[in-house]
A and B are shown apart, each in its own frame.
Chain A
Amino acid sequence: MRLLLPFVACFATAVAISAPHPGISDTAISGLQNPATLSAFGFFEGNAANPSMKLIPYTLRTPLFSDYAEKQRFIYLPPEALVTADKDGRLVFPVGSALVKNFGYTDSATGALAVLETRILLHKSDGWVALPYVWRADGSDADLRVGGTRIPVSFDREGKKLSISYAVPNKNQCKQCHSSAEQIVPIGPIWQNMEFLKAKDAARFIKANPQLAKLDKWAAWDDARSGNVQERARHYLKVNCGHCHAPKGAASNSGLFLDGSATDTAAIGIGKRPVAAGRASGNLDFIIEAGHPERSILIARMKSTDSGIAMPELGRSLHHKEGVKLLEDWIAAMPPSVY
């Protein structure tokens, strides 16, 4: 089997070279080897600013906070692909599909988005694979970094310059968030949380799955018109915490379930004592103390930037002030009689 690998790689290269407009390489997506450079897939034409026309761009109403990084999200579907959806609106992609996500910051001098890394999820015949690619300084291509890396980054935020050590996750960390029952799964593409930049793309999914049109869109965490504080807070938690804090997620042992599955108040943290928080309990008794955000461990951990305390554990070195404010408002408004 191993002897075949060089041949497969050669074949992929041959295809890429021989085609005048290479487009996206289905061979690279489904192949056994992970290409060393992002260009092997053909998701971008030249650089990150030019995504292939074959990619379907979309945004999320409530996204994961990643140190204020700006993100661009794309779906790639192989020819003739049929995407279905489960009853909860989670899109089900066929083998050969890919999800592509750029992370970067706006360059204050040029106003352009400087993409630092591109994370991809590839649906191969034996399951999904998650890989991080880091763009070269000249933007010509991005290199596979399975071990992750750190990149010093400075950017402007509300008139202030912030400097951080931006963390590119390693391959295992990709899986840590993207795992359900120890298998890699996509997190983001849930219909109710998605917005398509092109109407024809949304129409394509609806055409194949008419039931999606009946699902209510999720509240956008930062848009008060889209839902009340509780709705927005619950969706913020679902997106920012629910991938690990789920019965089959990386934080299953905590008994704190923020993915929407919880059926009792303790399981979403209200009146629940910490289990394995260690010093992260910060001298507080409950994950959420109704009416008291200042006495809730959830808030304290989301404010902390100490890696032994901070939640989420990965992808955050800054405190998301606006998101935490929403959760504080939600907890402050809870009647103490809830538990």
Chain B
Amino acid sequence: MRMRNIGIVGAAICALVQPAFAKTIAVAPGEGAQMRLQEALIAAEPGDIVELGEGRFKLTDGLSLDVNNVTVKGMGAKLTTLDFSGQQGAGEGLLVTSDDVVLRDFGVENSKGDGIKSKGADRIVYHKLRVEWTGGPKETNGAYGIYPVESTDVLIDSVVVRGASDAGIYVGQSRNIIVRESIATENVAGIEIENSFDADVHDNIATHNTGGVLVFDLPNLPQMGGHNVRIFDNIIVDNMTPNFAPKGNIVANVPTGTGVMVMANRNVEIFDNVLGDNGTTNIMVVGYRFPHNDAKYDPLPRDVVIWDNQHGRAGWDPKFRGGAEIAAAMGGNFPAIFWDGAGGPAKAPVISDTVPALSLGLTDILADPATAAPTPLAIATKRPAALPAIKLPDSMEAAVR
């Protein structure tokens, strides 16, 4: 009863805050689509819906939205397409820089840079979108498909991303994040959570990428110290697309055939996933190996929990320096789970999965993997205290119901 009262009061407050004449601005594809659509995105007022018609919008430049509380809605991820193959300017297809925005039911194709970027856009919802480089994996494809950065409260739900030359779904320097029920395929990294706090990645399919799901932390950035990330109930299989990222990018170092890769984060839980057919390994936990001069940065992963995952085949073709030698020493296969060992036993991941799990035994973060002294990792019986589930504001969940 009490909850219901709060709901009624909340609805009343919303009614007051909402502009009296929230409207729908319909935009159809065809001649002058660039200017008409961009002008609609500028003319929209808080509460408005910009409705994209069915068909193909041929765009010549990036689009951007900078109005709070606007929904951009197409007729369906395959029925409404923003086609950026003729793009001449801007670093991304669509850029969102305002709060409380919902993007849903449209596709974005062949942007020259990133697909959809949202920066400093709190409470953003990405729902039933398709972001695709239609030629499949190519080094010349844009970097990120869906790219929220520097945002609080991010929901990515039921999207499909294909062909990104960096990460299909990339959440950077953000906090309070859910990525769920989405498909990432034929990207270098399927889903990547980087320099972020408090994320749930669940019920996704990551397949045919170079690496399925990455949890990274990098130095020399405004937000560092990535932590509290839960990867669960995902299907992360057959990530065997040869790495096509241009060298120099951090993901260019992801070995082809990686299921989950955790680098330099703390408090990461990987549980109840289905992993398999990943030729290097199913789960890799490593430090950041490059020299850096950032005193505030911790390059070591720690407090990683690997629990109750199902493992299929892994490790038959490790693309990891020194990997083939380790595989030979282990009777032909690289382990399904491995940790570089940096930081010593106190930093070891806690594992319940009953598959071969190995520490490379590297004592120093900069040690050459060829000097590895592999030792098996023990199986744990007691699971450390679980991280809390991520909860997003009700307005965001309501937008996808």
Asked if A51 is at the interface of the complex by the 8 Å CB criterion, the answer is no
Q: From residue 165 to 220 of chain A, which have CB atoms closer than 8 A to chain B? A: 165, 167, 170-173, 175-176, 182
Chain A residues with CB below 8 A from B91, complex form: 307-308, 313
Q: Is the CB of B294 within 8 A of A278?
A: no
* Number of A-B residue pairs at CB separation under 8 A: 152
Complex Cα distance, B113 from A306, in Å, reads: 9
Q: Is the CB of A307 within 8 A of B89?
A: yes
Chain B residues with CB below 8 A from A264, complex form: 293
Asked if B35 is at the interface of the complex by the 8 Å CB criterion, the answer is yes
Q: How far is the CB of A69 from chain B (nearest CB, A)?
A: 15
Q: Is the CB of B246 within 8 A of A279?
A: yes
Complex Cα distance, B65 from A70, in Å, reads: 29
Chain B residues with CB below 8 A from A265, complex form: 293
Asked if A266 is at the interface of the complex by the 8 Å CB criterion, the answer is yes
Residue of B nearest to A267 (CB): B220
- Once A276-B144, A279-B141 are accepted as A-B contacts, the answer to whether A165 and B88 lie under 8 Å apart by CB is yes
- Once A255-B220, A282-B246, A285-B248 are accepted as A-B contacts, the answer to whether A276 and B143 lie under 8 Å apart by CB is yes
Q: From residue 50 to 105 of chain B, which have CB atoms closer than 8 A to chain A? A: 60-62, 64-66, 87-91, 95, 97
Q: Is the CB of B222 within 8 A of A255?
A: yes
Residue of B nearest to A150 (CB): B60
Name the segment of B36-44, B200-208, B323-331, B388-396 touching the other chain: B36-44
The secondary structure that dominates the A interface is loop
- Neighbour of A307 across the interface among B87, B140, B172, CB < 8 A: B87
Chain A residues with CB below 8 A from B43, complex form: 146
Asked if A8 is at the interface of the complex by the 8 Å CB criterion, the answer is no
Proximity string of chain B (185-197) to chain A, C-beta cutoff 8 Å, 1 when within and 0 when not: 0000000000000
Q: From residue 253 to 291 of chain B, which have CB atoms closer than 8 A to chain A? A: 290
- Once A247-B222, A281-B248 are accepted as A-B contacts, the answer to whether A148 and B97 lie under 8 Å apart by CB is no
Q: From residue 99 to 116 of chain B, which have CB atoms closer than 8 A to chain A? A: 111-114
The secondary structure that dominates the B interface is loop
Chain B residues with CB below 8 A from A148, complex form: 35, 38, 61
Chain A residues with CB below 8 A from B61, complex form: 148, 150, 167, 170
Proximity string of chain A (133-177) to chain B, C-beta cutoff 8 Å, 1 when within and 0 when not: 000000000000111111000000000000001010011110110
Proximity string of chain B (135-179) to chain A, C-beta cutoff 8 Å, 1 when within and 0 when not: 000011111100101100000000000000110001011000000
Asked if B352 is at the interface of the complex by the 8 Å CB criterion, the answer is no
Chain A residues with CB below 8 A from B173, complex form: 253
Q: Is the CB of B165 within 8 A of A278?
A: yes
- Neighbour of B142 across the interface among A171, A173, A279, CB < 8 A: A279
Complex Cα distance, B122 from A182, in Å, reads: 13
Chain A residues with CB below 8 A from B90, complex form: 173, 307, 313-314
- Neighbour of B165 across the interface among A253, A279, A317, CB < 8 A: A279
Asked if B2 is at the interface of the complex by the 8 Å CB criterion, the answer is no
Chain B residues with CB below 8 A from A224, complex form: none
Residue of B nearest to A300 (CB): B248
Q: Is the CB of B221 within 8 A of A277?
A: no
Complex Cα distance, B291 from A339, in Å, reads: 10
Q: How far is the CB of B60 from chain A (nearest CB, A)?
A: 7
Q: How far is the CB of A226 from chain B (nearest CB, A)?
A: 32
Asked if A252 is at the interface of the complex by the 8 Å CB criterion, the answer is yes
Q: Is the CB of B249 within 8 A of A281?
A: yes
Q: From residue 276 to 307 of chain A, which have CB atoms closer than 8 A to chain B? A: 276-286, 297, 306-307
Q: Is the CB of A172 within 8 A of B41?
A: yes
Proximity string of chain A (239-278) to chain B, C-beta cutoff 8 Å, 1 when within and 0 when not: 0000000010010110100000000111100011111111
Asked if B22 is at the interface of the complex by the 8 Å CB criterion, the answer is no
Chain A residues with CB below 8 A from B36, complex form: 147
Complex Cα distance, B91 from A10, in Å, reads: 41
Asked if B247 is at the interface of the complex by the 8 Å CB criterion, the answer is yes
Q: Is the CB of B249 within 8 A of A277?
A: yes
Q: Is the CB of B89 within 8 A of A253?
A: no
Chain A residues with CB below 8 A from B141, complex form: 279
- Once A253-B119, A278-B166 are accepted as A-B contacts, the answer to whether A173 and B64 lie under 8 Å apart by CB is yes
- Once A150-B88, A250-B119, A307-B89 are accepted as A-B contacts, the answer to whether A283 and B247 lie under 8 Å apart by CB is yes
Q: How far is the CB of B373 from chain A (nearest CB, A)?
A: 29
Complex Cα distance, B92 from A172, in Å, reads: 14
Q: Is the CB of A308 within 8 A of B42?
A: no
Q: Is the CB of B172 within 8 A of A276?
A: yes
The residue among A175, A267, A279, A307 with the most chain B CB atoms within 10 A of its own CB is A279
Complex Cα distance, B216 from A276, in Å, reads: 13
Residue of B nearest to A311 (CB): B91
Q: Is the CB of B65 within 8 A of A278?
A: no
Q: Is the CB of B150 within 8 A of A252?
A: yes
Proximity string of chain B (218-233) to chain A, C-beta cutoff 8 Å, 1 when within and 0 when not: 1011100000000000
- Neighbour of B248 across the interface among A253, A274, A306, CB < 8 A: A274
Q: Is the CB of B149 within 8 A of A306?
A: no
The residue among B60, B61, B222, B245 with the most chain A CB atoms within 10 A of its own CB is B61
Q: How far is the CB of A284 from chain B (nearest CB, A)?
A: 5
Q: Is the CB of A308 within 8 A of B64?
A: no
Q: Is the CB of A282 within 8 A of B220?
A: no
**A-B pairs with the 9 shortest C-beta distances?**
A278-B143, A281-B248, A308-B112, A147-B39, A147-B38, A172-B64, A308-B113, A313-B91, A147-B35
**22 A-B contact pairs sorted by A residue (CB < 8 Å):** A147-B39, A165-B88, A167-B88, A172-B41, A175-B66, A176-B97, A253-B119, A255-B220, A266-B220, A266-B292, A273-B218, A273-B290, A276-B144, A276-B166, A277-B248, A278-B166, A281-B247, A284-B247, A286-B248, A306-B112, A307-B89, A307-B112
15 additional contacts, CB 8 Å, given A273-B220, A273-B248, A274-B249?
A167-B89, A172-B41, A172-B42, A172-B64, A172-B97, A173-B90, A255-B221, A265-B293, A266-B293, A275-B218, A278-B144, A279-B140, A283-B247, A307-B88, A308-B111
